[in-house]
Amino acid sequence: MIIDGKKTAAELREELKKKISQLKSTYNAVPGLTVILVGNDVPSKIYVKNKEKFAKEVGMNSEVIRYPVDLQENELLNKIKELNKNDQVSGILVQLPLPKHINKRKVIETIDYGKDVDGFHPMNVGNLSSGYDSSIPCTPLGCSLLLKKAEKNLSGKHAVVIGRSNLNGKPMTQLLLKENCTVTITHSKTKDLKTECLKADIIIAAVGVPKLVKGDWVKKGAIVIDVGINKTDAGIVGDVDFDEVSKVAKAITPVPGGVGPMTIACLLSNTVECFKKAHYK
C-alpha cells in the first residue's frame, strides 16, 4: 500500500473548509493565521506562499507579514506581542530559519502558547509530553494521521523513530507513546541502526540522509513513514530507499506526495483548534 499524502491532505482541507463554514455561522468569525517571514530564504518563501494559498482556500483569514533580513529582534518581538493581543489572529507562525542575529528561542517563547500553531512553545512541548491537550508540531501530526491510514490500532506495535529533532523525532515519539506503541528513538550515535530497524513494526525516518533506510533494514509487513526531503542530482528523495523498501513494507509513504502535503494541512487544522479553544473559553 502506498499511503497517499496528497489525497489525505486534500481530504483534511475539505473537512476543515466545512468546519470553518460552521464556525462562521456560530461565531460570525473565522480562524485567522498570521505568518511572519523574515529575510529572503527561497524555500521559506515557497512554504509561506503555500501556507497563504491553502489558508485562503479553506476560508481562513490569512495574513503574511514580510520583513527584511536586517530586522531588529525587538521589532519582531513587539509585533508578536501585538498579534498575541489581536482577537482576529488565532494562530501565529514565525517561519524558520531566522537570521542569525535573532534569537529563535526568544521568538518562540514570545508567541502566546494558545496561538502557537507550530507547537514549538515550551508549554505545548511540555503538555504534549505530559499527555495533556496541546498544539502538536505539524509534520509529526501529519505522520500520525498517515500511519492511521495504514493501521487503525497501533497499540503494542514496536515503532522505531530515526532522528531526535525537536521538530520531528521527539514529538513523533510522544505521539506514538500516546497510541501505546513501544518506541525506540535513534539518532546519529545509535550503534547498528539496521538491527534496530529490523525489529520495527513501524519506522518513522526523519533524518535528512537520502535513501538511508534500505530494503534489508525493514521487516516484512512493516509500515514505513518517510519524513525526509532531500535535494539530490536525481531530484527530491526521502530518507528511505523507496524502490527497495516498497517491496517489503506493508505500507509506505512516497517522497514527494507523502508526509510533505500533510504538514500544511495540519497547520491549518492547528489554527482551527486554536480558534475553537479561544472561543470556548
Which residues have a catalytic role annotated? 51, 95, 118
Q: Is the CB of residue 232 less than 8 Å from the CB of residue 210?
A: yes
Smallest separation (angstroms) from ligand NAP to the CB of 10: 16
Q: Would you state the cell numbers that stand for residue 39, as one nine-digit string?
A: 529575510
Q: How many CB atoms within 10 Å of residue 36?
A: 22
Residue 204 sits at φ, ψ, to 5 deg, of: -115, 115
Binding mask 82-121 for ligand NAP (x = CB under 6 A): ----------------------------------------
Residue 199, interface with ligand NAP (CB under 6 A)?
no
Smallest separation (angstroms) from ligand NAP to the CB of 36: 18
Residues between 118 and 157 that touch ligand NAP (CB under 6 A): 139
Position among 263, 269, 270, 271 found at the interface with ligand NAP (CB under 6 A):
263
Q: How many CA atoms lie within 13 A of 11 on its CB side?
A: 9
Q: Is the CB of residue 108 less than 8 Å from the CB of residue 84?
A: no
Q: How many CA atoms lie within 13 A of 103 on its CB side?
A: 6
Residues between 214 and 233 that touch ligand NAP (CB under 6 A): 227-230
Position among 103, 129, 165, 182 found at the interface with ligand NAP (CB under 6 A):
165
Residue 91 sits at φ, ψ, to 5 deg, of: -135, 140
Binding site for ligand NAP (CB under 6 A): 139, 162-165, 167-169, 186-190, 193, 206-209, 212, 227-230, 259-260, 263
